[in-house]
Structure 1
Amino acid sequence: MNNPKATTHAPHIHTKNSVRNVMLHVLLALIPAIIAYVYFFGFGIVLQITLSVFFALLFEIISLKLLKKPVGLFISDLSAVVTGILFALCISPLAPWWISLIAMFFAIVVAKHLYGGLGQNIFNPAMVGFAVVLISFPQSMSMWLAPHSIALYDMSFSEVLSAVFTQSFPANVEFDTLTQATPLDSIKNGLRQELTMTEISAQPEFGKLGGLAWEWISSLYILGGVFLILKNIISWRVPTTIIIATVLFALSFYLYNPDGYISPLQHLFTGGLMLGAFFIATDPTSGCSSPKGQIIFAIGVAVMTVLIREFGNFPDGVAFGVLLMNLSAPLIDRLTIPKAYGQK
């Protein structure tokens, strides 16, 4: 047809946001936070990223071959790489190598391909893998390093390698000297010991806004998230609503008893809230598609995160908040997507 105004067959909407392009932007947006992570905690995070990405790609290839799908086509979309990196950013640099193996099996094989593959998964794969290993192996998931500025002993990369692959630690150093509770762990344990938040926040693992080092990493997640919003990779509604809802909901507890509950700023800049808000809850497949649904979804993530942090057994609740809202997303979409004209 030579008429430029004539209507041809679909598709009529063309976008540069292919899956690969989206994933590349996500990877670029994560780089500043990863660099900060290395600066504060050492190269153990690079090792965990390498392991997680390796196992994610391994299980992706095995799944595609079993399903008789073109391996090259689906591997090149980089979705498995992003899943591996997001998971690695949630775990300790000292986590045993088999943690990534188990987590990526559940993330890629169970949460992704058993549901039909990319675009069909109900739950965020990285959070499924994280939740499985967190519940199953809490001790192995709790071996966190202190930031270099307050660490009593800085482990070399070879010592980290030994710890990850053989669970062998320097013989002349006590285990408690090597590891330290995360700020959220310190808050949880301190409140159980009837310490006040003023006393807890005076401990060296806390900074001006939240957890020492974590406040910088969280700020760089925000920077990466803004980059994704400006590039139209993610919607602004989900991260913005999660941040606002977290502040308002946390403030209701904090105003009631400032020494008994976490401050809104500490909620924002301690733990994985910013990673969850900009890089995990914004997953279009496992989230909501309608604008109103995205806001409801984000409020649910924020509320569940705060409730788990304040009253739950786990120090952080981002993963569980996202997974619970993933489960609710189809119903929320059904109730919030406007009906087409003439539909009953």
Structure 2
Amino acid sequence: MPLADPLDERLRHAMRRVLLATLPGALASMWVFGWGVLLNLMLSGLTALAIEALVLRLRRRSLEPDLRDGSALVSATLLALALPAYCPWWLTVTAVACALLLGKHVWGGVGSNPFNPAMLGYALVLVAFPQHMSQWPAAHGLGLADGLRLVADIGQPPDGWAGATALDSLRINTSLTIDELFASDPAFGRWGGHGVEWVSLAFLLGGLFLLQQRVFTWHAPVGMLASLFTISLLFWNGSGSDSHGSPLFHLLTGATMLGAFFIVTEPVSGARAPLARLLFGAGVGLLVYLIRTWGGFPDGVAFAVLLMNLAVPALERFVDARQRRPLT
């Protein structure tokens, strides 16, 4: 029997730890949004495994090492956690197919993708199906039967099952102060989005576990969070009706923590040199705030990551030139 490739073993081990680290965030998301999160995860995972097996067969490659490396399942899991709970089945399948086919295999498979596969799949369905991608369930979600009908895209959804997110409400607000929004709008919680703040803290917990396990370094997450905190602090004008939200609000709302610890740390499409990783994360944080505040979408993590993926070669050249520069 041939010995296992040490690189394959390290990849599988890292992917297993990433999946384990998503568990607190997934459980918190289920507590907030209900069964739809679990349905997303199951459908996304099965779709990813089926597509991965099909592509490997078409490429006449063995299923054993490639299907078991866990990369497809990790991309599917992150994508499922980013998609709105109870989104129709065809939306999830389309997002996963785009992520794996256009974000991974068209470039040659694992280790060759210039873009983050999960964020590419998310961005494509966000542009193609904006109405479905904006339907986030109200807190505590729906029962299993209603959730299955929504996912199966059968019949009419229950009245009032979906509502605006905190980022949506802040974006369209023109008259209420921040204090009034937090007091009157059910989308707002204590510090950020209602329930989402706890989901964010759960993803933070999983991210700290990955840092402790040295799955990735601190540079990209710290760069993103520090940049987002700084820019939101600079443009924060208190609780007036024209406020863009406090730094704490931006850290604990939307996909900030998921992005900081599970997306910008993707090793293939991200930067490699430590300083380049720091700049990569900082660029993502800056773009997230700009898109949330003045762009066309309420969050922006996916687009920020993809834009910074394009900048990775320039960042690497800048860092390399800086390191080669002679001391004077």
TM-score, normalised to structure 2, is 0.92
SS in 1 for 2:271: coil
Deviation at 1:321, TM superposition (A): 0.5
Q: Deviations over 1:287-338 (max 9, x none)?
A: 0000110111011000000000000110001111100001111221122136
Counterpart contact for 1:249–1:306, Cα < 8 Å:
yes
Match of 1:195 in 2: 176
* Aligned mates of 1:294, 1:189 — CA distance in 2: 34
Counterpart contact for 1:159–1:169, Cα < 8 Å:
no
SS in 1 for 2:133: coil
Match of 1:264 among 227, 236, 247: 247
Match of 2:152 in 1: 165
Count matched residues. 319
Deviation at 1:196, TM superposition (A): 3.1
TM-score, normalised to structure 1, is 0.88
* Aligned mates of 1:56, 1:298 — CA distance in 2: 27
Match of 2:43 among 27, 48, 51: 51
* Aligned mates of 2:147, 2:163 — CA distance in 1: 15
RMSD value, Cα: 2.1
Paired letter, 1:238: A
The aligned runs of 1:98-247 (5 Å cut-off) are 98-148=90-140, 155-169=142-156, 173-174=158-159, 177-190=160-173, 193-202=174-183, 203-247=185-229
Paired letter, 1:159: D
Deviation at 1:340, TM superposition (A): 9.0
* Aligned mates of 2:266, 2:102 — CA distance in 1: 17
* Aligned mates of 2:323, 2:193 — CA distance in 1: 48
- Which structure: larger Rg? 1
* Aligned mates of 2:10, 2:55 — CA distance in 1: 22
The aligned runs of 1:262-341 (5 Å cut-off) are 262-337=245-320
Counterpart contact for 1:290–1:336, Cα < 8 Å:
yes
Answering whether residue 46 of structure 2 is matched by residue 93 of structure 1, we say no
Counterpart contact for 1:60–1:75, Cα < 8 Å:
yes
SS in 1 for 2:110: coil
Paired letter, 2:149: S
SS in 1 for 2:298: coil
Paired letter, 1:135: V
Counterpart contact for 2:8–2:69, Cα < 8 Å:
no
Q: Percent identity between the aligned chains? A: 39
Counterpart contact for 1:309–1:315, Cα < 8 Å:
yes
Deviation at 1:204, TM superposition (A): 2.2
Deviates more, 1:255-264 or 1:24-33: 255-264
Match of 2:3 in 1: none
